[in-house]
Amino acid sequence: MEGRTQYARSGDANIAYQVVGDGPIDLVLTWGWLSHIEVSWEDPDIAEFLTRLAAFSRLILFDKRGTGMSDRVTESQLPPLEQRMDDVRAVMDAAGSRRAALLGISEGGTLSILFAATYPDRTSALVLYGSWATWLKEEGYPWAPTLEQHEAAMALMQVQDPAKPFNLERFAPTKLKDEDFKKRLARYGRLAATPGAALAFYQMNIHMDVRDILPSVHVPTLVLHRAGDRMVYPQNGRYLADHISGARYVVLPGDDHLAWVGDREALVGEIEEFLTGTRHAPETDRVLATVLFSDIVGSTAKAAELGDKDWKALLGRHDSSVRRQLQRFRGREVKTLGDSFLVTFDGPARAVRCAEGIIHDLEALGLEVRAGIHTGEIEVIGDDIGGIAVHIASRIAAIAAPGEVVVSSTVKDLSVGSGIVFEDRGIHALKGIPDRWQLYAARA
C-alpha cells in the first residue's frame, strides 16, 4: 500500500510527503522525534500500522524538516515549532487537504497541539498518542525526566553503536529479545537522521512546552496512552486530557511506547472509532496450517543458575538458532512467548524436520527443547493466529519429553511417504481440549 513520495515546498525547504488510502477523512500523521516515510514501508510492523490507518482515512505522511526524505538542516537551522507548523500547512496544501484530523505521536503531539490551537479551521480533530505537554520535570509536572536524566541519555547517544537501537528497553521493552526487530529499528534510525541531527532534535525536544497552549485547543480531542509506557509515563497523557476542554482520555494495556509495536489493533481501533464513529472488525481468514510450538525445558532453573545477564545472552543465541531453522524449512514465526516459539508451516513434514533441527542445534548450547505439532484450521488475524489448533499444539508440546517432537495423529496421517518414523505415545487428554488425542513421537 506504499504511497508515492512527493515534495511540498515550504519556505526554502522541501518536505517529503505521501498520500495513502482514499477514506472520507484526511488524517495527517506526525511522527515523534525521527521518521523516514519510505523505510517505514519496508518494516512489516510499521507498514501494517500505516495500512490499518489508511483503511479508514486518506492518510497523509510526511518527514519533518531535517529528517528522513525531507531536506536536512544544520544545528543552527533547527526548525522551531512555528516553522514546523508552516511545513504541515505546506504538506496539506500540496496534498489538496483543506481540513484534516491530526494524529500526533510522542513528540509529534506538541506540534499537533500547537497546529490545532492555531488553525482550528484546518483541524477537524486531534488525536494524541504517547504525548506530553513538556518533557522536563518541574514543580507541578513531576512525570517528565530531569535535565540530568536527559543529559545522561544524550551522553549515551554519542557512544551508541549504530547497529543497535537506542534505548530499546524504554521504546519497546517487549522486543528486547527480538533480534530481527532490533536490526530493523536500528536501520530505521540510521536512515531517519544523522547522529548529530538525532542528538540535536532530542535536545530541542527537551525544551518544548505547550502547557499554556492546551486551553486554546477547541477541536474534538482523543488522548491515548499505554499503561506501562516507560518512555513517556501515562500521567503525561492524563495531564493533556485534563487541560484540553472536552478531551477524552483512554489508557490502553501494554508497555511499548512505539505505536506500531504491541497491540496495534487496540490503538488504531480507538482512533478509528473516535474519527468515524465505528470500529473496523479485524479480518480473519480460516486456513489449514501446521502449527509448531516449541519451548525450553527447565528454563526457570537454567535462568536461576546462569543469572539474568548470561541467561539473556543464551536466550538470544537460542532465538537466532531457531530462526535459522525456520528460514531453512520455510516456517513463519508468529511470535515468541518468553522462551517459546509459535510457528506455522504449509506442510507437516517440514515442521517435524524443522523441530528436529532446532532440538539438535540447541543441544550444543546446553539447552533441552521439546516441541508439539498439530495440523488443523487456524484463524489468521493480521500477523497473529488463533483457533483450537494453536491450543492443541501447545498442549502437545507440554506432554513431550526433553529433546522430543510429539505430534497429533493428523500430522502422522498427512506425512505418509515422507520417511518420518512415528512411535506411539498413547492416547491423552489435553487440558481444555475436547475428546482424547492419539499422539506420536516423530523422528525424521
State residue 308's pLDDT score: 86
What stretches of 95-249 show up as alpha helix (H) in DSSP? 108-118, 147-157, 168-171, 179-192, 195-206, 234-243
Determine the Cα–Cα distance for residues 226 and 248; give it in Å rounded to an integer. Answer: 14
Across the beta sheet with 123-129, the strand order is: 6-10, 13-20, 58-62, 26-30, 100-105, 123-129, 221-226, 248-252
CA torsion, ordered 233, 237, 242, 244, to nearest 10 deg: 150
State residue 97's pLDDT score: 97
- Could you tell me the CA-to-CA distances from 206 to 117, 130, 194, 317 in Å, in that order? 21, 15, 19, 37
CB atoms under 10 Å from CB of 16, counted, come to 23
Class of residue 47 by CB neighbours under 10 A (exposed 0-12, middle 13-18, buried 19+) = middle
CB contact burial 85-109 (16+ within 10 A = b; e otherwise): bbbbbbbbebbebeebbbbbbbbbb
State residue 74's pLDDT score: 73
Instruction: Write down the CATH number for the domain with range 284-443.
Output: 3.30.70.1230
Stretch(es) of the chain classified as CATH 3.30.70.1230: 284-443
Residue ranges in the chain whose pLDDT is less than 50: none
Owner of C-alpha cell 490503538:
267
State residue 385's pLDDT score: 87
Measured on CA atoms in the order 361, 364, 365, 366, is the torsion positive or negative? positive
CATH T-level fold of 6-276: Rossmann fold (3.40.50)
State residue 281's pLDDT score: 62
Residues forming a β-bridge with 343: 292, 333
Determine the Cα–Cα distance for residues 169 and 152; give it in Å rounded to an integer. Answer: 15
What stretch of H or E contains 251? Answer: strand 248-252
3-state secondary structure of 179: helix
State residue 75's pLDDT score: 65
State residue 284's pLDDT score: 58
- Letter for the amino acid at 354? C
List pLDDT tens digits, range 157-178. 888 888 888 888 989 999 988 8
The length of the chain in residues reads 444
State residue 384's pLDDT score: 84
Stretch(es) of the chain classified as CATH 3.40.50.1820: 6-276
State residue 177's pLDDT score: 84
- Could you tell me the CA-to-CA distances from 154 to 166, 169, 193, 199, 205 in Å, in that order? 10, 16, 15, 7, 12
What stretches of 277-347 show up as alpha helix (H) in DSSP? 299-306, 308-328
CA torsion, ordered 126, 129, 135, 139, to nearest 10 deg: 80
Owner of C-alpha cell 551522553:
155
State residue 206's pLDDT score: 87
